[in-house]
Structure 1
Amino acid sequence: MAHELSITRYIAAPPAEVWDVLANRQEEWWCPAPWKVRLDEQDRRPGGVARSTILGPDGEEMPQDGIYLAWDEGRRIVATDAVTADFQPSGPFMIGFWEIAPEGEGTRYTAGARHWTAEAMEQHQAMGFEQGWSTVADQLAALCEG
């Protein structure tokens, strides 16, 4: 896909277990430690509210306001910041996706960000996409495999 950044991980745990951690324990893995996320409001359906706050180790707070484009139970979450919960346009940065699929005895986890422009993708890459999202994938795997 054009303007897409993604990472993938094999997780040595069954898909149902990975999905449970991915969907229901986001505050434990969603941000690279020591950063955290606070889930402020989630309406897990297409068009539903996806509102959270990223919390930094020095008191930083970065609100994230968007909507879910897809919530395919047990398989995929897709969200965007291009539209707020009350369907107001927002400065779009990306469409994020988090997917799982059975693979052998475990699960293939894939997460990524699709951007409107090459410039936005390059900005995300320069912000440390690969390192940050890889750390998050490692945190998710550790919870699932532990």
Structure 2
Amino acid sequence: MTEATDEPGYPLRVTRHIAAPPERVWQVMTGQLEDYWCPRPWRTEIVEIDWRSGGRMATIMRGPDGESHEGDGVLLEVTPGKRIVFTDAFRAGWIPQAAFMVGCLEIAPEGEGTRYTATTWHWTKEACEQHRTMGFETGWATMADQLAELAEAR
């Protein structure tokens, strides 16, 4: 399920129930990012991820026809088993750069599984609409589906 809201910060959000315990979902989120981070047939190459607040998060998404999209930012918060918050507003060392969004991946127990919620906030309404036009709903919902597939496999 995806939703857009009128909340401050121009958020876009995807939420999904995953039929796996939060510990397993967290393990996949942090240990297999390259396997779910972008919709197939695209793939993710991890340049560096330092799983701590202030750590670098740098990836390259590669398309089937040679396209690529580099992302280089920092992790603002890593709360094990609960939340990862990241942004492209800074690169490692807190060096400011042109910003597009802040992203947050959250998990919480729900029934016998896990509620996964991915939210992005944007500095402007235009950036939010640009992200939506780029395919946020489809792309991030697919990412959630791929995460669920991996977490539910065991």
Relative to the length of structure 1, the TM-score reads 0.97
How far did 1:145 drift? 1.3
What runs of 5+ residues in structure 2 fail to find an aligned partner? 1-6
- Cα offsets for 1:68-120 (capped at 9, x unmatched): 00011111100000011132211100001101000010000000110011110
Q: How does 1:1-146 map to 2 (within 5 A)?
A: 1-2=7-8, 3-146=10-153
How far did 1:59 drift? 1.3
Instruction: Out of 53-62 and 63-72, give the one that drifted further.
Output: 53-62
Tell me how far apart the structure 2 counterparts of residues 103 and 87 of structure 1 sit (CA, whole Å). Answer: 36
Tell me how far apart the structure 1 counterparts of residues 30 and 50 of structure 2 sit (CA, whole Å). Answer: 12
Relative to the length of structure 2, the TM-score reads 0.92
Identity of aligned pairs, percent?
53
What runs of 5+ residues in structure 1 fail to find an aligned partner? none
Give the RMSD, CA atoms, in angstroms: 0.8
SS, match of residue 91 in structure 2: coil
After superposing on structure 2, the runs of 4+ consecutive aligned residues of structure 1 that deviate more than 4 Å are: none
How far did 1:43 drift? 1.2
Tell me how far apart the structure 2 counterparts of residues 96 and 57 of structure 1 sit (CA, whole Å). Answer: 25
Tell me how far apart the structure 2 counterparts of residues 44 and 143 of structure 1 sit (CA, whole Å). Answer: 20
